[in-house]
Amino acid sequence: MSRIGKKPVELPSGVTATVSGQTVEVKGPKGVRSFTATDDVTVAMEDNVVRVTPRGNSKRSRQQWGMARTQIANCVTGVTQGFKKELEINGVGYRAQMQGKVLKLSLGLSHDVNFEVPSDVTVTAPKPTEIVVEGIDQQVVGEVAANIRAWRKPEPYKGKGIKYKDEYIFRKEGKKK
């Protein structure tokens, strides 16, 4: 039995969900998200609660059970609270600023990096050394944050680069005489 899959997904006030076949569409104050489950699980809506049950007892249906429930729960979280990733920039002269829909990064390269922000996320730079990525889709928010971080990953000697706010950089000791 899946511990995660057994729990029903409760819909908070202001959120509506419609189930048509294997597709669940969730509408909330921040927008609309949808998820299409595989044929290995059954999705049912009953009095403000979405339940996911496996079809059969195969390994694949049990795997999809917990995953489908989590994806639906993430849709509900996305349309109510949204998802957020915070990045920090460390390094002399490293900074970021928004210019319209373009994030301009100065990362010690011979040129400035112009990062085009996708339409379904919002990127802000409250300080020159901070970047905040927000959106209703957890996967897209994480991917955009990872793409920004990939321009200058933190290095282990001085910690220079772009890192997640809660990330720990394992530091190495430099050369000794």
- Which tens digit of pLDDT belongs to each residue from 78-105? 999 999 999 999 989 999 999 999 999 9
Looking at the fold, whether 12 and 74 belong to one and the same domain comes out as: yes
pLDDT of 121 reads 93
Domain range holding 31? 3-80
pLDDT > 70 fraction of the chain, expressed in percent and rounded:
99
Looking at the fold, whether 75 and 141 belong to one and the same domain comes out as: no
Looking at the fold, whether 94 and 28 belong to one and the same domain comes out as: no
Looking at the fold, whether 64 and 9 belong to one and the same domain comes out as: yes
Q: Per the domain annotation, does 127 fall within a domain?
A: yes
Looking at the fold, whether 87 and 74 belong to one and the same domain comes out as: no
If you search the block for the tokens 């390094």, which residue do you land on? Answer: 91
Domain count, the chain: 2
CATH of the domain at 139: 3.90.930.12
Please name the residues in contact with 24: beta carbons below 8 A apart, sequence gap of 6 or more.
Answer: 17, 18, 34, 35, 36, 37, 43, 45, 50, 72, 75
Looking at the fold, whether 54 and 108 belong to one and the same domain comes out as: no
Q: Given 57, 80, 103, which residue is the final one in a domain?
A: 80
Q: What is the DSSP letter of 111?
A: S
106-158 confidence digits (pLDDT tens): 999 899 999 999 998 999 999 999 999 999 999 999 999 999 999 999 999 99
State the alpha helices, DSSP H only, in 102-170.
138-149
pLDDT > 90 fraction of the chain, expressed in percent and rounded:
63
- Mean pLDDT along residues 27-51: 90
In angstroms, rounded to a whole number, what is the distance separating the alpha carbons of residues 56 and 122?
42
Q: Per the domain annotation, does 169 fall within a domain?
A: no
> What is the rounded average pLDDT for all residues in the chain?
91
Instruction: With H, G, I as helix, E, B as strand and everything else as coil, classify residue 64.
Output: helix
Looking at the fold, whether 155 and 98 belong to one and the same domain comes out as: yes
Q: With contact defined as beta carbons under 8 Å apart, do 41 and 55 qualify?
A: yes
Beta bridge partners of 88: 130, 163
Is the pLDDT at 75 greater than 80? The verdict is yes
pLDDT of 1 reads 67
pLDDT of 56 reads 87
Is the pLDDT at 40 greater than 80? The verdict is yes
Q: Which helix (H) or strand (E) holds 124?
A: strand 121-124
Q: Given 80, 107, 129, which residue is the final one in a domain?
A: 80
Whole-prediction pTM value?
0.86
Q: Given 80, 99, 121, which residue is the final one in a domain?
A: 80
Handedness of CA 81, 145, 72, 28 (dihedral sign): positive
